[in-house]
Amino acid sequence: MSSGLLYHALGIRGYRLIRTRFEFGAMILVIELPPENRRCSDCGSQNVHSRGTTWRLFRGVPIGKKPVFLELAVPRLFCWSCHAMRQPELRFADPKKRHTRSFARYVLELSQFMTLTDVARHLGISWDTVKEIQRQRLQTRYAKPKLKHLTQLAIDEISIGKGHRYVTVVLDLESGAIVFVGRGKGADSLAPFWKRLRTSRAKIQAVATDLSSAYILAVRENLPEATHVFDRFHVMKLLNEQLSELRRELYHEATTKLEKDVLKGTRWLLLKNPEHLDDTRQEPRRLQEALDLNASLAAAYYLKDDLRQFWQQPNRVAADVFLDRWCARAEATGIRRLQRFAKTLRTHRQGLLDWYLYPISTGPLEGTNTKIRALQRQAYGYRDQTFFQLKLYALHEAKHALVG
Phi-psi label, residue 98: left if phi above 0, alpha if psi -120 to 50, beta otherwise: alpha
pLDDT the model gives residue 10: 78
CB count in 10 Å sphere of residue 57: 10
Return all residues near 157 (Cβ < 8 A) that are at least 6 apart.
166, 167, 168, 169, 185, 186, 189
Q: Give the Cα separation of 20 and 178 in Å (integer).
A: 48
Q: Return averaged pLDDT per consecutive 10 residues of the chain, 404 residues in all.
A: 68 83 89 81 77 88 89 85 81 88 92 85 90 89 88 88 76 90 86 92 92 90 93 88 80 61 55 61 62 69 86 94 93 88 94 93 78 69 76 74 41
- CATH code of the domain made up of 152-230+361-397: 3.30.420.10
Burial of residue 401, with CB atoms counted within 10 A of its CB: 0-12 exposed, 13-18 middle, 19 or more buried:
exposed
Q: Would you state the pLDDT for residue 401?
A: 46
Task: Answer for the pair 231, 361: CB distance below 8 angstroms, yes or no.
Answer: yes
What is the per-residue pLDDT for 227? 95
Q: What pLDDT does residue 35 have?
A: 82
122: CB partners within 8 A, 6+ apart: 110, 114
